[in-house]
A and B are shown apart, each in its own frame.
Chain A
């Protein structure tokens, strides 16, 4: 078996293309692995076309040492993950995709010590692309920390991952 076949085999075991995506279970899998797991993201809630992930505040993720404000990097990661999972949530299946672009507006600094919650929605899926938007807040969604809009490219599973 070559490397690509091995990779495809493993991906089929973990997340076979077209398998039913259960947002709560799926998110819990992702939040145990890689960067998402390292940052300590947690599943929070979901609906038909939206999902919420939480990122508890942590001292080693701070961007301004003097104030304790969370860096914006972890907020990008949180919004990237939440918007990505909102596509699978809307579709009800897992399909390989990659981020084409992501724009984030930092409305205000996150409050030090508070958990940041991202609520992401997939508002349209076309043949090649999925369109997403999301809000990050630290307790009151009417007083957001950040807004995002992005696009995911839907791709074939071949070469999508290289375990």
Chain B
């Protein structure tokens, strides 16, 4: 089993595991800084996308661990809806594994800031599951 470890990109962007929710799902967070800013005063859409992907990845790894699977995870695609401008605040994201099958996993992910009911972005993401390399 391979515990989820934030890759260099996530650490560069200032992401961290905020906490682990019931069911073992990690909530990933990212602080506001100039390096994640798009139009002046707001989060960059790509930075939000990167955070969503990281949360989806982390949620899927947690689910695979729960199943005792050490499959490799490869992103296939993502569709992001931007719901409101990301403010100069810490942003959180959490993934929900809809289905983790033998070859494919489908994950929904949401991002929010102070108020969890006011989403900044919502997305779905599909992953290909590959056998671990020896």
Contacts and interface: CB of A to CB of B under 8 A. Distances in A.
Contact of A65 (B7, B13, B38, B77): B7
B81 interface: yes
Contact of B79 (A96, A101, A161): A101
A12 interface: no
A126 to B, nearest CB: 18
Nearest to B80: A102
A141 interface: no
A81 interface: yes
A98 B85 contact: yes
Interface string B49-68: 11101100000000000000
Contacts of B79: 101-104
A104 to B, nearest CB: 5
A36 interface: yes
Nearest to B41: A162
Contacts, number: 129
B70 to A, nearest CB: 14
Interface in A1-39: 7, 10-11, 33-36, 38
Contact of B34 (A38, A70, A72): A38
B49 A62 contact: no
Interface in A76-119: 76-81, 96, 98-106, 109
Interface of B: 7-13, 34-42, 44-47, 49-51, 53-54, 74-82, 85, 88
Contact of A102 (B8, B13, B45): B45
A158 interface: no
A81 B82 contact: no
Contact of A161 (B7, B8, B41): B41
A34 B45 contact: no
A163 B77 contact: no
Given A71-B9, A74-B9, 17 more contacts: A7-B40, A35-B37, A64-B7, A65-B7, A71-B7, A73-B51, A73-B53, A76-B45, A76-B49, A77-B46, A77-B47, A78-B46, A98-B39, A99-B45, A109-B74, A161-B40, A163-B40
Interface centre among A7, A62, A72, A106 (most CB of B within 10 A): A72
A106 B76 contact: yes
A122 to B, nearest CB: 16
Closest 8 CB pairs of A and B: A77-B46, A73-B50, A162-B41, A71-B9, A76-B49, A35-B44, A34-B37, A38-B35
A139 interface: no
